[in-house]
Amino acid sequence: MATAKISSTKSTSRAINYAEKRAEEKSGLNCDIDYAKGSFKATRELYGKTGGNEGHVIIQSFKPGEVTPKQCNQLGLELAEKIAPNHQVAVYTHTDTNHIHNHIVINSVDLETGKKFNNNKKALHDIRRANDDLCREHSLSVPERDTAKLRYTQAEKALIEKDKSSWKDELREEIENAKAHTSNFKRFSEHLEEKGISFKVRGKNVSYKPENVNKWVRGKTLGQDYDKEALKIEFEKRTKQQQRQDKLERTKPNRADDTGLSEDWRDFGRTTDILERDRKRREKEQAERERKARLIEKENRRIRERTSQERQTARNVSKRTKGFNLEL
């Protein structure tokens, strides 16, 4: 079972210094892990993003005995690839507590867009979901819902112990089904009404009431996935997916019968122009990404060479002074 939490940092160098000196294992995404501090800084300077938060730190913790340090580090790297594929990320694994855990340091700047990583409630929601998915992919246990918030009665606990579902579990299943088939609060409410479940929004909260239950239950009581904010995030994501799909449908050439052939050809021509412009735009963006990647690699190489020279100088000094008594 893995848990994850995120915080921002004003200094990725300090975050890396702390994590690196205690690390049992380490790895990097989009950077050389041994030169992560310099690489992070070079990227921020390249995009002119040197103010504010320099990065973010995720603590990913596993249940005792569930993973080895090497496996833990690999899982941290996979989580980074899911949530920040275009960022430079350094993953450090610690074994100094009962729970093996990762310190995942994310550089704030996106390598492709130059935009900063948004650490907000949606980001935390996405990180926890990605972390749960990762655990399932590797047959690891997934954190159970917050039982402190479920407030089961003794009768409901007894049902669960007998492998029987409570009315709240049945309600959760109906809500999940409604979420899968809707993309806004209105349709969501209508879908639940069809199943005999009343739904209302009041301020920052949402509540549900099955027809065979004589009381309302708040979404946050059922769990984080059922409160207003989680529903809003889910609907926004589904709406964007639908908009992308609609755009793809609009750009497809028409294949009507011969009566509308000339109009179809005009549409096809317009679609071809759009696709050609998109292709050129993508090529231009790719060229720009490659240019920036070369600059970053050049800066990383400079940092490595400077570090190597400093180490060589230190070794030479050590050789020259070896055997001499420097005491006065």
Judge whether 51 lies within some domain: yes
pTM of the shown model: 0.51
Please tell me the predicted confidence (pLDDT) of residue 42. Answer: 92
The CATH number that applies at residue 74 is: 3.30.930.30
Do residue 26 and residue 128 come from a single domain? yes
106/182 same-domain check: no
Task: Report the range of poorest mean pLDDT among 38-47, 138-147, 248-257.
Answer: 248-257
Rounded average pLDDT over 76-102: 92
Q: Is the pLDDT of residue 133 over 50?
A: yes
Q: Please check whether residues 227 and 128 belong to one and the same domain.
A: no
* Confidence at 86, pLDDT banded by 50, 70, 90: very high
Number of domains comprising the chain: 2
159 within domain boundaries: yes
Q: What is the pLDDT of residues 272-326, one digit of tens each?
A: 666 667 767 777 777 777 787 778 878 777 887 887 787 778 777 766 666 555 4
Domain presence at residue 295: no
pLDDT at 222: 85
In a domain, 266, yes or no: no
Q: Which of 75-84, 206-215, 282-291 has the lowest mean pLDDT?
A: 282-291
| Residue 85: strand, helix, or coil | coil
- Does 167 lie in the same domain as 94? no
175 lies in the same domain as 77: no
Are residue 80 and residue 34 in the same domain, yes or no?
yes
Q: Which are the contacts of 211, defined by CB distance < 8 A and separation ≥ 6?
A: 196, 197, 198
Please determine, for residue 67, whether its predicted confidence score (pLDDT) is greater than 80: yes
Task: Provide mean pLDDT across the span 239-247.
Answer: 79
Q: Are residues 162 and 184 in the same domain?
A: yes
Which of 137, 171, 202 is a domain's end point?
A: 137
Q: Which domain holds residue 38?
A: 2-137
Q: What is the pLDDT of residue 256?
A: 46
Whether 6 and 78 share a structural domain:
yes
Residues 121 and 215 placed together within one structural domain of the fold: no
- Helix 69-83 vs helix 121-137: angle between axes, to the nearest 10 degrees? 130
Q: Which of 114, 137, 160 is the last residue of a domain?
A: 137
Assigned domain for 299 exists:
no
Average pLDDT for 8-26: 92
Alpha carbon distance 101, 1 (integer Å): 11
Residues in contact with 14: Cβ distance below 8 Å, sequence separation at least 6, in sequence order: none
**Are both 115 and 163 inside the same structural domain?**
no
Whole-number pLDDT of residue 29? 94
| pLDDT higher than threshold 50 for residue 216 | yes
pLDDT confidence of residue 310: 77
| Residue where one domain finishes, among candidates 92, 117, 137 | 137
Q: Kindly state whether residues 161 and 128 are assigned to the same domain.
A: no
Q: Determine the pLDDT at residue 148.
A: 40
